[in-house]
Amino acid sequence: MGAFIAYMQWVTEQWLAANPNDTSPPRGYPKIPGNRGDYQRGKATFAERCAVCHGANGQGRYEGGVYYRPALWGDALFNTCARMDDPGKSSAFVHANMPLGAGGLLTAQDSWDVATFIDCQKRPAETSCSTPSGCPRQ
């Protein structure tokens, strides 16, 4: 949880640095239209738009052993019970904040699709949490 909070603080700092004249608070989770994403479209959008920062396998980037961009799935990530595996929350976050410094670049549907794709990936300690229906988890 500490890592997640640190990440959110970092995102806020980046947003404030990129928007010095905007005095309104950052809105990390605004609701967006829609309620369902498509796994295959999300996979393609992730490869095209997200993998450059988060890695082709969602492993994140750690330049020279130093944190650069967070992992989105796998052993280095939050567990499923952290609740960022909720596509409703993560799609809103993706739409408002990703790519870093260019929030809103992805359409609402693209954001739902990417969130659905990411949500279906394996995370540590997911045995006590529910798996979304329709996920082609390995």
The 10s digit of each residue's pLDDT in 16-28 is: 787 777 766 555 5
Tell me the per-residue pLDDT of 81-133, one tens digit each, with 9 for 90 and over: 555 667 888 898 899 888 888 888 999 999 999 999 998 887 766 555 555 55
Tokens at residue 7, please? 């990440």
Q: Where are the domains of the chain?
A: 2-9+29-119
Question: What superfamily in CATH does domain 2-9+29-119 come from?
Answer: Cytochrome c-like domain (1.10.760.10)
Transcribe 2-50 into DSSP letters: HHHHHHHHHHHHHHHHH-TT--SPP-SS---S-S---HHHHHHHIIIII
Q: Is 37:110 a contact under the CB 8 Å cutoff?
A: no
User: Secondary structure of 112-131 in the HEC alphabet?
Assistant: HHHHHHHHCCCCCCCCCCCC
What are the φ/ψ torsions at residue 68 (nearest 5 degrees)?
-125, -55
Q: Helices 108-119 and 87-97: crossing angle, nearest 10°?
A: 130
Task: Indicate the length of the chain as a whole number.
Answer: 138
Statement: the pTM of the whole predicted model exceeds 0.95: no
